[in-house]
Structure 1
Amino acid sequence: MKGSLLACQGKSALEALINFAYNGNLAIDQQNVQSLLMGASFLQLQSIKDACCTFLRERLHPKNCLGVRQFAETMMCAVLYDAANSFIHQHFVEVSLSEEFLALPLEDVLELVSRDELNVKSEEQVFEAALAWVRYDREQRGPCLPELLSNIRLPLCRPQFLSDRVQQDDLVRCCHKCRDLVDEAKDYHLMPERRPHLPAFRTRPRCCTSIAGLIYAVGGLNSAANFYAGDSLNVVEVFDPIANRWEKCHPMTTARSRVGVAVVNGLLYAIGGYDGQLRLSTVEAYNPETDTWTRVGSMNSKRSAMGTVVLDGQIYVCGGYDGNSSLNSVETYSPETDKWTVVTPMSSNRSAAGVTIFEGRIYVSGGHDGLQIFSTVEHYNHHTATWHPAASMLNKRCRHGAASLGSKMFVCGGYDGSGFLSIAEMYSSVADQWCLIVPMHTRRSRVSLVASCGRLYAVGGYDGQSNLSSVEMYDPETDRWTFMAPMACHEGGVGVGCIPLLTI
């Protein structure tokens, strides 16, 4: 857009549009931005429409974001709508205290409290928000409470909260359907064997990938390493996406490449890997508050190049390589008991697969079994302990990055048996299909992919000639990859984990 954008007061939308036509300057303020946007839409002045959307986007606040989202939907401004939606999810607790939230119609509240992306410390905050909405107009909204509670994940509330707060509320006590939902939630805690029979969405933890988090790069290989060998490292460094800066942390007690990394309760776990001579079963946990590592319980199997994820507060490791063959075995770790338990194996032996949590399931993509590289995908339902096939990727690949962001799952890079890849794909469960997105700037095998701040970060890798310290960031709103600050202490092969800033 030519000209400058000047924030000023007291100009009408018509006067602002006339001024723009004559001198290329556009004056936008809080009073005229909506009128300007409507006029620009009617006259098909895309540059002014974009400028108004940017103005509103930069001024999103818990007290106005719901109204901005509604206005963006009316004006068919997709980028502004998505930005407001993401802001609402990220700041849900503050938004739920606003007059805009209390004035929402039932269908909008139902849609909001159902979202996986809500950024809440506990499900109890969602319950309190819903109850506040009902009490705002108790006579009219009281009958809506059963439908609201059925969309809240009551089983994920603490037993004490269910007994002392939810069950004792007078609105809940006088409603049979509400009491049934409370009983269902209590059964979840009292009788774990019945959990597979509960509606899956009510026991699925929420996951907000738009909040800021610090990205930790763990272990990996030095610059002298080639595709087949190299020195494993115990080095750890942390990246602040907002400051675009890396800093060194205390090293692990053991050197580990092809290491699994997981984050639970604000602790970073380094799992298994290869120390340069042996595949490892050992595990150690990092506390960012004390900058220290502590050994915890070891896995049942030695493994490197496995997938590692967290679901319902448990760490899962899938497949990998034990020094002799690719594995199909899966183990889960409980931080409370410090024990590893073997669960249902995958349908295929998979080493160097992409593994991520998507819509409450563990998705495993690609990888290899020592003979062939896969494009196939399978997912695990932890309630029924069963694996199911999903749509295959467009490209076979191993040693690739995989991560979820919002309502989509992504894979990038890897190796297809003949070349090192920069191509990336995105999966939608609604369409049950993959589609290509813009490729990375760099070919990256052994790349790690992680979500933070509503963006994806592809960290390190190997381009066919050397290990990489470079990092690329993918913005789903613009479908572009951008280089970020390179790692300071690593050259490829790292494991990564993201610790939300709220937890440290």
Structure 2
Amino acid sequence: MLLSLPVFPSHWLDPLAGWIHGERLVEVIYIIVVIDQAVKVEEGGRRDMASRNPQVKSECPGPGTETGLFGKGHTTEEDIREERHKDGNDLVPDTVLQVESESFFVNRENLAQLSPYFQALFFGGGRESNRRHIEIKGVDLENFRSLMEYAQSFRLQLDRKNVLGVLETSNYLQLEKARLLCCKFLERELHLSNCLGMMAYAWQLGCLELYTAAREVVLTHLPALASEEDFLYLSKETIADLLASDKLFVPREDLAFEVMLRWATFDPNREDDFLELAGLVRPESLSLPYITDLLTKMKSSDPRAKLICKLNDHLPSSWTMGRSVPRTCSREMLFLLGGPHEQDHQSLYQFNPRSGRWQSCPPLERKCLIQYSVAVVGDNVLVTGGYFRDVLWYSVDWVRIYQCSSERWVDGPALQKSRHSHCSVGLTLQVFVMGGSMDEGPVATVERLVLGADGWDSVSPMIQAVERAAVVAMGSCIYVACGLDENGEVYRGIQRYHPEADQWDVVSYSPFPRYDLLATELNGALYLLGGKALRLDIDTDEWTLLEEECLDRKFFTGCATVNGQIYLISERKINRVSTNMEKI
């Protein structure tokens, strides 16, 4: 579902637009796309968990679900398969496992390699170690059958009906890869209607990644979830964990207080809990009209009046200890950069997701510059390289930095190599420039600038030289998706860079490769947007095609994820670009 947001000034739209996002420019996800010089831009985006969308096969060899495969970075089962092939007698049954009335002929070595449970069962020195017929109790027959098929084929058939049972059985049998596949399936099914229950369920089973993903959805949609019945039955500890989180996103802190009031008034025995939870609200962020309204209700018949009176008489100690730090999400901003290259400057705008307001910033004073890249490190916006026209077009090594604290542009250290159509991304206190084209053609070189350093360093080059690729930082890694190679062909690979090890690998191959993509991250998954919208679960190399009408064959000039939602900007139709911004 697309939600329209305030429009932004339209005079800068043609022919260049870039969009960057950061937590006041920290942990930034940016997008910049070129829509000048007959460059075809094909962008799209969405936010959601792919619960109604089919998966598509990756061509990266390896195991996975029935429609998803593990990538090259996940070789546990690949190694097992190779060992089987070398042995020549792979999967020769040597033991019978009985569940209820059905018998399964299995290979002990095979199962022991996949599961500590079976390792202990077959080779732990217990009574079962010497038996060739073993009865397993406490597991469901259908779920056990699915997992035994997985142990042979590394394909796990999952659907909404069986996934919970298969997860619990794989958890019991300690089949970690099968467990991971189930958790990723449930992550794709996450929705506002089930995230509270999923969070509790994942915590109970000890599925940390699923719990984290469900909690992220709750943190970014808590006011809406407060109307759900499940919310009222959450424990005090869970409510406290959510209110204390620096990642809790509420348009106004008043809503955090309202959420707490709703939970506390549901049960009269929660009065003491209310006072404890009130200490987790940021009082200096409460609005004056809201505080006035609360004081007015103290003498009314409102069921919350008793709690408010008690709070007035027993203010939490945290409220009297000085100002608390505003929540991280309250400082997140979106930045938009671009404009007609014929003009003397390119406009920079800032958007506040909480207030829905645009603010003009000092423009980039550059004329006839296109195909540059934008990234953020610290609280600085970096514009690197580009294609510049004096008499002829040529690549440049320029670096311009917008310092948000002083609201001014300054020159930065020049790149080692002039380039355009490259990609760049910030990670911690470093910014990386990758690939692109020099005047001679695409290059694989990568440069790194540490914040405050005098110059750029060279690091390991990409595996495949590409230009006009998409890039996103997730966790401690950088992912470069698709692009055009030195032959002008679309490259299908998803290249991953590990800065700490200074190493590149290819983690997957896109089933629908293209150049000029947009990339963003949501709940630990990679989203590629452009014509078709795709989600990639890195851990399992499972691709999901997001078949939503609002995204199908839709192209946008920018996207970013902020506060658990993907923002889309400027849908492009042939030669027209809209001025709307939308979120999913």
TM-score, normalised by the number of residues in structure 1: 0.50
- Which residue of the partner structure matches residue 174 of structure 1? 315
- Which residue of the partner structure matches residue 437 of structure 1? 507
- Which residue of the partner structure matches residue 433 of structure 2? 365
Question: What is the CA–CA distance in structure 1 between the aligned matches of 2:258 and 2:457, rounded to whole Å?
Answer: 37
One-letter code aligned to 1:331? Y
- The Cα shift of 1:271 comes to 0.9
- Please, which runs of 5 or more residues in structure 1 have no aligned partner? 3-13, 186-200, 208-262, 288-294, 460-469
Distance 1:184 1:389, change over 3 A: farther
Question: What is the CA–CA distance in structure 2 between the aligned matches of 1:479 and 1:144, rounded to whole Å?
Answer: 41
> Contact 2:373/2:424 (CA < 8 Å) preserved in 1?
yes
> Contact 1:353/1:365 (CA < 8 Å) preserved in 2?
yes
| 1:284-433 matched pairs, under 5 angstroms | 299-302=364-367, 303-308=369-374, 316=381, 318-321=383-386, 322-323=388-389, 325-331=396-402, 341-343=408-410, 345=412, 348=415, 351-355=420-424, 363-366=431-434, 374-378=445-449, 395=462, 399-404=468-473, 410-414=479-483, 421-426=491-496
- The Cα shift of 1:438 comes to 0.8
What SS class does the counterpart of residue 376 from structure 1 fall into? strand
Matched, 1:272 2:413: no
Distance 1:342 1:180, change over 3 A: farther
* 1:209-268 CA-partner distances (Å, limit 9, x unpaired): xxxxxxxxxxxxxxxxxxxxxxxxxxxxxxxxxxxxxxxxxxxxxxxxxxxxxx66xxxx
- Which residue of the partner structure matches residue 139 of structure 1? 272
Distance 1:307 1:161, change over 3 A: farther
What SS class does the counterpart of residue 535 from structure 2 fall into? strand
> Contact 1:173/1:179 (CA < 8 Å) preserved in 2?
no
Question: What is the CA–CA distance in structure 2 between the aligned matches of 1:429 and 1:367, rounded to whole Å?
Answer: 16
* 1:371-404 CA-partner distances (Å, limit 9, x unpaired): 8764234476xxxx99999995762765431235
Distance 1:389 1:430, change over 3 A: same
- The Cα shift of 1:91 comes to 3.2
| 1:22-421 matched pairs, under 5 angstroms | 38=168, 41-42=171-172, 65-76=195-206, 81=211, 84-97=214-227, 99-100=230-231, 103-106=234-237, 109-110=240-241, 113-114=244-245, 116=247, 120-122=250-252, 124-126=254-256, 128-129=258-259, 137-140=270-273, 142-143=275-276, 146=279, 148-149=280-281, 157=285, 170=311, 174-182=315-323, 202=328, 205=331, 271-272=338-339, 274=341, 281-283=345-347, 299-302=364-367, 303-308=369-374, 316=381, 318-321=383-386, 322-323=388-389, 325-331=396-402, 341-343=408-410, 345=412, 348=415, 351-355=420-424, 363-366=431-434, 374-378=445-449, 395=462, 399-404=468-473, 410-414=479-483, 421=491
What SS class does the counterpart of residue 71 from structure 1 fall into? helix
What SS class does the counterpart of residue 412 from structure 2 fall into? coil
- Alignment root-mean-square deviation, CA: 6.3
> Contact 1:473/1:482 (CA < 8 Å) preserved in 2?
yes
What SS class does the counterpart of residue 471 from structure 2 fall into? strand
One-letter code aligned to 1:341? R
- The Cα shift of 1:104 comes to 3.2
> Contact 2:240/2:277 (CA < 8 Å) preserved in 1?
no
Distance 1:417 1:332, change over 3 A: farther
- The Cα shift of 1:51 comes to 11
Distance 1:393 1:108, change over 3 A: farther
Distance 1:83 1:341, change over 3 A: closer
The number of aligned residues is: 376
* 1:339-396 CA-partner distances (Å, limit 9, x unpaired): 983157367477444345768x89553256958764234476xxxx999999957627
Question: What is the CA–CA distance in structure 2 between the aligned matches of 1:347 and 1:78, rounded to whole Å?
Answer: 43
- Which residue of the partner structure matches residue 449 of structure 1? 519
What SS class does the counterpart of residue 568 from structure 2 fall into? strand
* 1:101-122 CA-partner distances (Å, limit 9, x unpaired): 6633547743675364x56445
- Which residue of the partner structure matches residue 474 of structure 1? 535
One-letter code aligned to 1:403? V
Question: What is the CA–CA distance in structure 2 between the aligned matches of 1:40 and 1:174, rounded to whole Å?
Answer: 49
Question: What is the CA–CA distance in structure 1 between the aligned matches of 2:287 and 2:413, rounded to whole Å?
Answer: 33
Question: What is the CA–CA distance in structure 1 between the aligned matches of 2:271 and 2:160, rounded to whole Å?
Answer: 38
> Contact 2:231/2:263 (CA < 8 Å) preserved in 1?
no
Question: What is the CA–CA distance in structure 2 between the aligned matches of 1:119 and 1:480, rounded to whole Å?
Answer: 29
> Contact 1:413/1:424 (CA < 8 Å) preserved in 2?
yes
> Contact 1:353/1:400 (CA < 8 Å) preserved in 2?
yes
Question: What is the CA–CA distance in structure 2 between the aligned matches of 1:18 and 1:52, rounded to whole Å?
Answer: 17
One-letter code aligned to 1:281? H
Distance 1:171 1:38, change over 3 A: farther
> Contact 1:472/1:481 (CA < 8 Å) preserved in 2?
no
- Which residue of the partner structure matches residue 227 of structure 1? none
Higher percent of residues as strand: 2
Higher relative contact order (CA 8 A, sep 6+): 2
Deviates more, 1:422-431 or 1:317-326: 422-431
What SS class does the counterpart of residue 139 from structure 1 fall into? helix
> Contact 1:167/1:179 (CA < 8 Å) preserved in 2?
no
What SS class does the counterpart of residue 364 from structure 2 fall into? coil
Question: What is the CA–CA distance in structure 1 between the aligned matches of 2:403 and 2:231, rounded to whole Å?
Answer: 43
Question: What is the CA–CA distance in structure 2 between the aligned matches of 1:124 and 1:397, rounded to whole Å?
Answer: 48
Question: What is the CA–CA distance in structure 2 between the aligned matches of 1:451 and 1:22, rounded to whole Å?
Answer: 35
Question: What is the CA–CA distance in structure 2 between the aligned matches of 1:320 and 1:178, rounded to whole Å?
Answer: 49
One-letter code aligned to 1:304? I
Question: What is the CA–CA distance in structure 2 between the aligned matches of 1:15 and 1:29, rounded to whole Å?
Answer: 22
Question: What is the CA–CA distance in structure 1 between the aligned matches of 2:509 and 2:518, rounded to whole Å?
Answer: 15
- The Cα shift of 1:22 comes to 11
- Please, which runs of 5 or more residues in structure 2 have no aligned partner? 1-64, 67-136, 150-156, 297-307, 352-359, 560-566, 570-580
> Contact 2:374/2:384 (CA < 8 Å) preserved in 1?
no
What SS class does the counterpart of residue 438 from structure 1 fall into? strand
One-letter code aligned to 2:527? L
> Contact 2:170/2:178 (CA < 8 Å) preserved in 1?
yes
- The Cα shift of 1:329 comes to 0.5
- The Cα shift of 1:327 comes to 1.6
Question: What is the CA–CA distance in structure 2 between the aligned matches of 1:182 and 1:204, rounded to whole Å?
Answer: 15
- The Cα shift of 1:272 comes to 3.3
> Contact 2:144/2:169 (CA < 8 Å) preserved in 1?
no
What SS class does the counterpart of residue 446 from structure 2 fall into? coil
> Contact 1:306/1:317 (CA < 8 Å) preserved in 2?
no
Question: What is the CA–CA distance in structure 2 between the aligned matches of 1:472 and 1:62, rounded to whole Å?
Answer: 21
